[in-house]
Amino acid sequence: MAYDRAHPRDIGHANIAMIENGNIWQRARRFYGLRNEPEYARPLAEIIWRTLLVISFGAVVGIIVFGVWEFWVVIENLNSAGNSVSKPPPVLNRASLESTLSAIRDREAAFNALDASPKTFADPSK
């Protein structure tokens, strides 16, 4: 008599929620260990396929939830921006712009002065 038929089982043995976690991992370990045997290739492929499906489904759900969350954050920011009365600070500060432009002009003058009178170096090969 086969081992499966010798001992009574629970009625819910086919239900995935009723199977103990240790039993699933033992079966997966056994299938992976015997992956070169033809009769264990299909159950191993089924385990891998279902794992990929669950991971893909979780990724899609996570992406959708994140997208909806970001959408609502943008909508809330737009609604709150329309109600504000305060004036934003000026983007352009004339004093800092003038100081930056004068620094650029100084660097350009220094470059042109060096370019007009280049230093000569002795050739080390002679």
The range of the structural domain enclosing residue 68 comes to 1-83
Residue with tokens 């997966």: 28
Which helix (H) or strand (E) segment holds residue 8: the answer is: none
Within a domain: 126: no
Within a domain: 70: yes
Q: What's the domain count of the chain? A: 1
Q: How many helices (H) and strands (E) does the chain have?
A: 4, 0
DSSP secondary structure of 87-123: PPPPS--HHHHHHHHHHHHHHHHHHHHHHHSPPP---
Structure-block tokens of residue 125: 């090969």
Within a domain: 106: no
What pLDDT is recorded for position 6? Answer: 53
Reported as a single tens digit per residue, the pLDDT across 28-81 is 777 778 777 777 778 778 888 999 999 999 999 999 999 999 999 999 888 876
Taking a C-beta distance cutoff of 8 angstroms, is the pair 32, 45 a contact?
Answer: no
Residues across the chain: 126
Within a domain: 34: yes
How far apart, in whole angstroms, are the C-alpha atoms of residue 95 and residue 102?
11
Within a domain: 61: yes
Within a domain: 125: no
Q: Is the pLDDT confidence value at 118 over 60?
A: yes
How far apart, in whole angstroms, are the C-alpha atoms of residue 92 and residue 110?
27
Within a domain: 6: yes
Within a domain: 59: yes
